[in-house]
Amino acid sequence: MLELKELTKHFGEVKAVDRVSFRVERGEVFGLLGENGAGKTTTLRLLATMLKPTSGTAVVAGFDMVKEPEKVRKHIGILFGGESGLYDRLTAAENIEYFGKLNNMDKDELKRRVQELTEIFGMGEYIHRKTGKFSKGMKQKVAFARSIVHNPDIMLFDEPTSGLDVSAIRDVHDFIMDCKKAGKTIILSSHTMSEVEKLCDKIGIIHKGQLADYGTIPQLTAKYKESSLEEVFIKLVGEKI
């Protein structure tokens, strides 16, 4: 479970995130939909405790992110879009192990988990090879495995499909659905309408740091008397431009 309470982040005069509140239940996929610069990444960085809020807070897996950031980090996994962000000179296994160790996993537990993840993502052939010469798809699988090595309850996906080709996007979507099936609480930030429609149980539309509204797609379309999420988005965002 994850709950944001008036979460606010200012960078000088700029209100990057402005009193954002919502709740995501266990096993739910919450889509944060917004244009570039709307505050999606800042919200996820706040939830990942990489940034400290100016005011407000969030309760992540029962822990207050301001008071107990390290305990919060124990329960979250994060996957960023674009480049997979791997260490090229380390093997796939070493990349995954590094994050497992930094998440306080013990040696035996980590060994078992790497084996398990290798099987889940079909990385057997290249798990002990350096990632520098991997294809984008191979790197992506390692990045998936790395993000869930410590078996987090909550997954944060920050525009995970940005810059990817069709098959890689499909892999990311499958991974998100697998996480959902595993009962993880998920927040997915995206500016792609079809992606959030396909994957999310609830959607929050964020604009200029403020959460314009949130709910399920039927709830939103009914509320704003529009035929599609896109129309709702344009209505909410367009009204505020």
Partner 1 sequence: MSLKHVWIVFSKEIKDMARDKRTLISNILIPIILMPLVFTLMGGGISKMEKDIVENVTVALSQASDTPEIRDLVADIFSDNPNIKILDPVADPVEAVRNDRIRFVLDVEKDFAEKMNQGKPFHITVTFDQTDTKSGGSYGIITNAIEQYAQKVTEDRLTKMNIDVSILRPIEILNEDASPEKGGGNLMLMMILPMLATILIAVGGIPAATDLVAGEKERGTFEPLLTTQANRMSILFGKYLAVTLFAIICVVAQLIGVFIGNIVSPTFLTMGVPGADLKFHIPTLALLLTILITVTLGMVFAGLQLAVSTYARSFKEAQTYMSFLMLIAMLPAYATMIMQPDDVKLFMFFIPLLNAIASLKLVLGNTINYSYLGIALVSSLVYVFISLILAASMFKKEKVLFRS
Give the binding site for partner 1 (CB under 8 A). 11, 45, 48-52, 70, 73-74, 76-78, 80, 82-90, 94, 98-99, 101-104, 130, 146-147
Nearest to 2 by CA among 190, 186, 203, 210: 186
Our CB check for partner 1 shows the closer of 16 and 237 to be: 16
Rg (CA), the chain: 18
Q: In what order do the strands lie in the sheet with 63-64?
A: 14-24, 2-11, 55-60, 63-64
Our CB check for partner 1 shows the closer of 50 and 182 to be: 50
Our CB check for partner 1 shows the closer of 96 and 232 to be: 96
Which token pair is 12? 């000088």
Q: C-beta of 197: minimal distance to partner 1 in Å?
A: 27
Our CB check for partner 1 shows the closer of 85 and 124 to be: 85
- Taking CA atoms, 82 is separated from 85, 117, 203, 206, in Å, by 9, 22, 22, 21
Q: Is the dihedral of CA 34, 36, 41, 42 positive or negative?
A: negative
Q: C-beta of 148: minimal distance to partner 1 in Å?
A: 12
Q: C-beta of 147: minimal distance to partner 1 in Å?
A: 8
Rounded Cα distance between 138 and 140, Å, is 5
Rounded Cα distance between 129 and 152, Å, is 26
Strands (E), the chain: 2-11, 14-24, 29-33, 55-60, 63-64, 76-80, 154-158, 185-190, 202-207, 210-215
Our CB check for partner 1 shows the closer of 23 and 74 to be: 74
Which token pair is 44? 């996820």
Q: C-beta of 73: minimal distance to partner 1 in Å?
A: 5
Q: C-beta of 156: minimal distance to partner 1 in Å?
A: 8
Our CB check for partner 1 shows the closer of 147 and 190 to be: 147
Q: C-beta of 9: minimal distance to partner 1 in Å?
A: 9
